[in-house]
């Protein structure tokens, strides 16, 4: 046997690489489906000839090489050889592999293009092009309804939240001109009430408002359009009440899914009945995948301790579940084949019980492959198994390649493979011994003591804690002569070091996985949780106990519900310990940091070599080189960030981000010195938590963790109610408002004032003609309200006291008006008109005649409306456009970014203004791009 025979062969890795390349090419270039079909057929034909017609391949290779102007070897020798034997009859291994590579690449490119862009001509999406289109549709449920309970009312939230039910509907027909028209497609249904009588497979008739999916409204927003479209859902319907849904019949083809839905519902009801509210929420999440009942505080607790993965049914849960079943079967001495088949069946059962969510599908595929390897006595858990699982997942849904959950899942498993000893002509016990020996070496390095000293300390501790108390149980004599004590001590010592080595290995693995996933987590969440390194290994024990007792509880709830209280006692204990550890970790202030993340380019540079070394274990470098690679990458990323920031400081640019927050206002202003001003931070139609998050993420991308100045225009909740959450995410250096800001009689205003005082944030009250130069912002000028106006009895009318600010930079002017009524604006009469480049429409785009005086005074080029579902007058945009103004609306255009930069002649007297939008407009049909219709 030669050396080549000893090298491991990973065929699924060979399939995984072209499958990823084909999907990425399809997504990046959007080739037509016919192009992919043509390429696939051509590559398939050539591949078939390569395997069955060596004569044809020799002919192609011979004549191709004759046409090469600069051959790879001596041309005379080649021609002389070919003259004697024109067809060389080579093996052509490389050419065959290359053609197989092309076949797989073109197939997955075709498959992604089909799933992403290919829809039948009778799809419901082609009938809907406008928002809020009234429709009556019929179809059947393809997912179990998920009920999201309302959270506690947040600070400054005016409208009370209600329960929401969400499910997916496969549409069969739509009422068109009083005629039921056959139609296809899936729709996401959102009902503003609680539905408990519907199940998967029910045929229903629904009346509601259909809306096309929208792209993200703000930078770093969750891309719901991509998420739903990857599931081939292109529309969502808003249903105001449960009475708009009428049950028709049952689809009997869903009887299996309905059976598992009944089991899941029964178990969830028993959790609610037997456990405390908080423990019931966690138990349903970690065992059944029901996360809809979790409140925001509980989710924040898991997220900020780096344990959010415990809430999603993923590889961790299925691995623990399989481990529990495996241990139980081993106790009863089950044979290997029965054990493997039982594990596969149990995992499939648990997959259906948790509704087959995407993370659990990924984990189940990998576990089934591993169990199949055990069944046929093959090496099961290696890079080939991981690649096979990835290929199967991409066959199910090729868009999983771009989803963060799939990336984190496979990256974590790939890193875990680095710590697993591979079989390479050695006994498994020897491999395990080498791994344990490496653990011992690391223990020596960390503790800086010889293990013999640790054993001596352990023996002394056992002598005082064990022998002194129970010496009457041993025979007389010295400790060295007492064999019973020595045997007992040996058992305890071996158990202690076994647990120590296993815990230390788990700690090392947790550190490695955390470090490798850190750039991706920082890029998407801007959250650094070093406490996760320490809490994850510790929390495994209560997690395993909780999962075990919850599974026992679920089985009892199906078999004999009267025994559930026995299991619920142990669930309460294990989950209480679980929550106690989380809360203790969350209490440590240095356990989490909000930081800017790396750019996509630097993330790519980080993960590309790691993926290569994972796929090719023989090419992995020494641990010292890996540490050097991490250090060089970190220095390079930080250096590039600060270099770009240094370059930005040389410019005189001012940037405004007018965020899309619905009916509200939040404007982030970045000065040339990279200082940040926030003008208002609130919304009525969006969650204050969401508003604070998008503001904080915009600052984290700049490398900032603080806001230099927050300006409140007036005392309406839609202009300040995100301040509480914002104060938790960022450091606020100063607050500015009018003197009557906190004189309004409102409980939220009193709480806001208390927050500012408790946080010891400096507060400055300003009126007309006051300058903000004393806090470093000379470009801002206060135009309203005046001190004379404040002497009037107007403290309860917040709108007419709105703080109006004129921003002037490089000859450009922007007016921020709050909710000012132009009839109360004294500066219109006292100040000379200013040519405005941009005007924030007062009162979120109220009736344009109410601020006609402002339009006449400033003659703005752009008018921006921060609208939402409660826009005060939808005719305002039409009226303004008819008068020649360029009107933008954050509700339809998304976040609007305004950049004021120096002109090409570098003159500080004038500058250029550039306006960018996240979306081009409300009436744009995003779906019409790159869509192919099946005729």
pLDDT, tens only, 342-394: 888 888 888 888 887 777 787 788 788 878 777 776 656 678 888 888 898 89
What pLDDT is attached to residue 847? 63
What pLDDT is attached to residue 328? 81
Give the integer Cα–Cα distance in Å for 727 and 709: 12
Most confident region among 57-61, 94-98, 413-417, 755-759 by mean pLDDT: 755-759
Cβ-contact 664, 217 below 8 angstroms: no
Q: Which of 630, 628, 634, 632 is nearest to 598 (CA)?
A: 634
Q: Whose structure tokens read 């600060």?
A: 642
Confidence class for position 433, pLDDT limits 50, 70, 90? very low
Q: What is the DSSP string of 742-760?
A: GGS--HHHHHHHHHHHHTT
What pLDDT is attached to residue 113? 92
Taking 70 as the threshold, does the pLDDT of residue 793 lie above it? Answer: no
- What average pLDDT score do residues 541-570 get? 85
Question: In whole angstroms, how large is the CA radius of gyration of the chain?
Answer: 33
Cβ-contact 239, 190 below 8 angstroms: yes
- What average pLDDT score do residues 615-623 get? 76
Name, in order, each residue with C-beta under 8 angstroms of 4's C-beta and a sequence gap of 6 or more: none
- What average pLDDT score do residues 560-586 get? 88
Taking 90 as the threshold, does the pLDDT of residue 918 lie above it? Answer: no
Name, in order, each residue with C-beta under 8 angstroms of 197's C-beta and a sequence gap of 6 or more: 247
Give the integer Cα–Cα distance in Å for 548 and 287: 9
Q: Which of 192, 209, 184, 196 is nearest to 144 (CA)?
A: 196
Higher pLDDT, 181 or 430: 181
Name, in order, each residue with C-beta under 8 angstroms of 407's C-beta and a sequence gap of 6 or more: 520
Work out the percent of the chain whose per-residue pLDDT is above 90: 20
* Number of Cβ atoms within 10 Å of the Cβ of 17: 15
Q: Which of 692, 690, 667, 752 is nearest to 717 (CA)?
A: 752
Give the integer Cα–Cα distance in Å for 263 and 384: 35
What pLDDT is attached to residue 528? 87
Confidence class for position 791, pLDDT limits 50, 70, 90? low
305-346 pLDDT, tens per residue?
888 888 877 777 787 788 888 788 887 777 878 888 888 888
> Which residues in 754-878 belong to E strands, given as ranges?
763-765, 780-784, 804-809, 812-816, 838-840, 862-865
Give the integer Cα–Cα distance in Å for 876 and 679: 23
Tabulate helix, strand, coil % of the chain (nearest 5). Answer: 55, 15, 30
What pLDDT is attached to residue 655? 92
Cβ-contact 213, 232 below 8 angstroms: no
Higher pLDDT, 483 or 316: 316
DSSP state at residue 463: I
What does the mean pLDDT of the chain come to?
80
The DSSP element (H or E) to which 101 belongs, if any, is: helix 93-117
Give the integer Cα–Cα distance in Å for 97 and 106: 14
Q: Which of 742, 317, 710 is nearest to 543 (CA)?
A: 317
Taking 80 as the threshold, does the pLDDT of residue 501 lie above it? Answer: no
Confidence class for position 130, pLDDT limits 50, 70, 90? confident
202-251 pLDDT, tens per residue?
999 999 999 998 888 898 888 888 999 999 999 999 998 888 999 999 88
Cβ-contact 581, 542 below 8 angstroms: yes
Taking 60 as the threshold, does the pLDDT of residue 626 lie above it? Answer: yes
Q: State how beta strands 838-840 and 862-865 pair.
A: parallel
Which residue blocks in 526-622 are alpha helix, DSSP H?
531-559, 564-587, 600-615
Taking 50 as the threshold, does the pLDDT of residue 3 lie above it? Answer: no
Confidence class for position 71, pLDDT limits 50, 70, 90? very low
What pLDDT is attached to residue 109? 94
Confidence class for position 189, pLDDT limits 50, 70, 90? very high
- What average pLDDT score do residues 695-703 get? 88
Longest dimension (CA), the chain: 109
Name, in order, each residue with C-beta under 8 angstroms of 644's C-beta and a sequence gap of 6 or more: none
Work out the percent of the chain whose per-residue pLDDT is above 70: 81
Name, in order, each residue with C-beta under 8 angstroms of 667's C-beta and a sequence gap of 6 or more: 656, 657, 658, 659, 678, 679, 680, 816, 840
Tokens of 637: 């990323």
Give the integer Cα–Cα distance in Å for 662 and 686: 6
Q: Which of 249-253, 490-494, 535-539, 809-813 has the lowest mean pLDDT?
A: 490-494
Q: Which of 870, 869, 844, 842 is nearest to 854 (CA)?
A: 842
Give the integer Cα–Cα distance in Å for 410 and 900: 44
Coil/strand/helix, residue 4:
helix
244-283 pLDDT, tens per residue?
999 999 888 888 889 999 888 888 888 888 888 888 989 9
10-38 pLDDT, tens per residue?
788 888 999 999 999 999 888 888 899 99
* Number of Cβ atoms within 10 Å of the Cβ of 883: 12
Give the integer Cα–Cα distance in Å for 669 and 661: 16
Cis peptide before 785 (omega within 30 of 0): yes
């Amino acid at each position: 046997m030669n050396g080549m025979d000893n090298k491991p062969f990973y065929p699924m890795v060979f399939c995984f690489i072209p499958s990823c390349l084909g999907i990425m090419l399809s997504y990046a270039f959007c080739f037509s489906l016919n192009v992919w079909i043509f390429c696939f057929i051509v590559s398939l034909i050539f591949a078939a000839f390569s395997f069955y017609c060596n004569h044809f391949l020799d002919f192609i290779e011979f004549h191709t090489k004759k046409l090469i102007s600069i051959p790879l070897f001596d041309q005379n020798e080649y021609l002389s050889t070919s003259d004697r034997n024109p067809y060389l009859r080579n093996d052509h291994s490389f050419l065959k592999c290359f053609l197989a590579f092309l076949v797989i690449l073109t197939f997955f490119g075709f498959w992604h293009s089909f799933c992403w862009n290919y829809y039948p001509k009778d799809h419901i999406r082609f009938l809907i092009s406008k928002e809020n289109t009234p429709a009556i549709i019929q179809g059947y449920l393809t997912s179990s309804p998920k009920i999201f309970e309302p959270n506690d009312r947040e600070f400054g939230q005016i409208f009370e939240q209600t329960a929401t039910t969400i499910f997916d509907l496969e549409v069969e027909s739509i009422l068109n001109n009083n005629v039921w028209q056959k139609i296809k497609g899936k729709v996401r249904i959102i009902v503003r009430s609680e539905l408990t009588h519907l199940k998967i497979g029910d045929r229903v008739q629904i009346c509601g408002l259909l809306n096309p999916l929208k792209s993200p409204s703000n930078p770093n927003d969750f891309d719901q359009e991509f998420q739903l479209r990857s599931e081939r859902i292109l529309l969502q319907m808003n249903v105001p009440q449960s009475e708009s849904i009428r049950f028709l019949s049952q689809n009997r083809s869903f009887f299996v899914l309905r059976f598992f839905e009944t089991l899941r519902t029964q178990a969830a009801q028993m959790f609610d009945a037997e456990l405390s509210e908080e423990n019931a929420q966690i138990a349903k999440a970690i065992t059944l995948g029901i996360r809809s009942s979790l409140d925001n505080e509980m989710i924040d607790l898991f997220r900020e301790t780096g344990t959010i993965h415990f809430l999603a049914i993923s590889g961790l849960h299925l691995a623990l579940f399989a481990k529990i079943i495996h241990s139980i079967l081993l106790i009863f001495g089950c044979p290997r084949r029965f054990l493997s088949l039982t594990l596969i069946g149990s995992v499939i059962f648990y997959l259906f019980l948790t509704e087959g969510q995407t993370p659990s599908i990924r984990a189940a595929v990998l576990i089934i492959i591993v169990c199949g390897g055990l069944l046929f006595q093959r090496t099961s858990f290696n890079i080939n198994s991981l690649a096979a699982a990835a290929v199967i997942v991409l066959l199910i849904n090729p868009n999983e390649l771009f989803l963060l959950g799939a990336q984190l899942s496979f990256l974590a498993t790939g890193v875990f493979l680095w710590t697993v000893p591979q079989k390479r002509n050695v006994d498994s016990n020897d491999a395990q011994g080498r791994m344990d020996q490496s653990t011992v070496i690391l223990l020596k390095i960390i503790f800086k003591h010889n293990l013999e000293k640790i054993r001596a300390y352990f023996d002394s501790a056992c002598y005082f804690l064990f022998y002194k108390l129970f010496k009457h149980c041993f025979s007389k004599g010295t400790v060295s002569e007492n064999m019973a004590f020595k045997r007992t001590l040996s058992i305890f010592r071996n158990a202690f070091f076994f647990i120590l080595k296993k815990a230390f290995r788990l700690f090392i693995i947790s550190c490695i996985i955390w470090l490798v996933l850190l750039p991706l987590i920082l890029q998407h969440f801007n959250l650094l949780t070093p406490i996760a390194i320490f809490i994850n290994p510790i929390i495994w024990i209560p997690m395993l106990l909780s999962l075990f007792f919850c599974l026992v509880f679920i089985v009892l709830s199906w078999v004999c519900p009267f025994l559930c209280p026995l299991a619920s006692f142990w669930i309460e204990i294990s989950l209480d310990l679980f929550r106690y550890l989380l809360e203790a970790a969350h209490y440590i202030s240095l356990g989490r940091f909000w930081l800017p993340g790396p750019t996509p380019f630097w993330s790519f540079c980080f993960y590309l070599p790691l993926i290569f070394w994972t796929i090719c274990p023989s090419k992995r470098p020494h641990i010292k080189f890996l540490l050097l690679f991490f250090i060089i990458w970190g220095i390079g990323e930080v250096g590039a960030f600060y270099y770009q920031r240094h370059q930005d400081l040389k410019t005189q640019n001012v940037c405004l981000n007018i965020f899309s927050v619905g009916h509200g206002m939040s404007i982030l202003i970045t000065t040339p010195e990279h200082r940040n001003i926030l003008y208002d931070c609130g919304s009525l139609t969006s969650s204050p938590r969401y508003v604070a998050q998008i503001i904080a993420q915009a600052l984290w991308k700049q490398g900032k963790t603080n806001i230099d100045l927050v300006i409140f225009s007036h005392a309406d909740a839609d202009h300040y109610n995100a301040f509480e959450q914002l104060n938790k995410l960022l450091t606020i250096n100063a607050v500015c408002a009018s003197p009557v800001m906190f004189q309004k009689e409102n409980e939220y205003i009193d709480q806001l004032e208390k927050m500012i005082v408790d946080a010891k944030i400096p507060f400055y009250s300003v009126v007309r003609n006051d300058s903000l130069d004393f806090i470093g912002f000379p470009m801002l000028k206060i135009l309203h309200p005046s001190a004379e106006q404040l002497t009037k009895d107007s403290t309860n009318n917040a709108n007419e006291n709105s703080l109006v600010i004129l921003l002037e930079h490089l000859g450009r002017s922007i007016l921020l008006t709050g909710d000012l009524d132009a009839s109360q604006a004294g500066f219109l009469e006292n100040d000379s008109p200013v040519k405005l480049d941009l005007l924030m429409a007062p009162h979120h785009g109220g009736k344009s005649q109410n601020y006609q005086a402002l339009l006449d005074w400033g003659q703005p080029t752009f008018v921006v409306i921060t609208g939402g579902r409660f826009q005060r007058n939808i005719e305002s945009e039409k009226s303004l456009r008819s008068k020649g103004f360029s009107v933008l609306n954050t509700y339809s255009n998304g976040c609007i970014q305004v950049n004021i930069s120096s002109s090409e002649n570098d003159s500080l007297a004038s500058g250029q203004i550039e306006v960018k939008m996240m979306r081009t407009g409300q009436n744009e049909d995003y779906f019409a791009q790159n869509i192919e219709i099946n005729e």
